[in-house]
């Protein structure tokens, strides 16, 4: 559980850093904003599934223009993931979660694998966002786990 908790704390930190970088860049790139919204919505979709709820109401690739609304989504996600993980026992990480994907196809996946998906999916897209920032001549932001770990060594 310690590793999952630490990696999730990294996710919240990295989400915040990428949002700060987007705000500082002043980008109006609709595809870039759509991508960061996608990350927030995907986190929400997976959390719904972990909680045994439907995720059918979420559109993974909707348009976005308001970084404040996206930041609020990320903050709400962090709050709900923290509560979920605090209530999770080690053995429950390997229990299978029944859910349907966005097309309605049923699946069973362990909570551990779902959380791993959330972590890796976000990092993948944060890398894409950083690349796009560089292309726009904006400064990409450091979101590597090791940077997070070094900053939190005293914790």
Going by the annotation, the residues of the binding site for a divalent metal cation are: 38, 121, 125
**91, 57 in Cβ contact below 8 A?**
no
- Which residues carry a binding-site annotation? 38, 121, 125
> What are the structure tokens assigned to 105, written together?
């196809």
Contacts of residue 152, Cβ cutoff 8 Å, sequence gap at least 6:
9
Measure the N-to-C terminal CA separation of the chain; round to a whole number of Å: 16
Handedness of CA 41, 46, 52, 55 (dihedral sign): positive
In the chain, helix, strand, coil percent, each to 5?
65, 5, 30
């Amino acid at each position: 559980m310690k590793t999952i908790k630490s990696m999730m704390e990294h996710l919240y930190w990295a989400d915040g850093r990428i949002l700060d970088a987007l705000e500082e860049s002043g980008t109006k790139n609709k595809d870039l904003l759509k991508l960061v919204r996608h990350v927030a919505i995907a986190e929400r979709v997976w959390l719904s599934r972990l909680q045994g709820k439907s995720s059918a109401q979420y559109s993974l690739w909707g348009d976005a223009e308001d970084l404040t609304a996206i930041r609020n989504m990320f903050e709400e996600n962090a709050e709900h993931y923290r509560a979920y993980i605090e209530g999770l026992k080690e053995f429950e990480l390997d229990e299978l979660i029944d859910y349907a994907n966005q097309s309605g196809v049923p699946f069973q996946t362990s909570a551990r694998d779902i959380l791993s998906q959330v972590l890796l999916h976000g990092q993948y897209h944060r890398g894409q966002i950083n690349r796009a920032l560089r292309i726009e001549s904006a400064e990409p932001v450091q979101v590597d786990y090791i940077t997070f770990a070094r900053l939190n060594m005293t914790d």
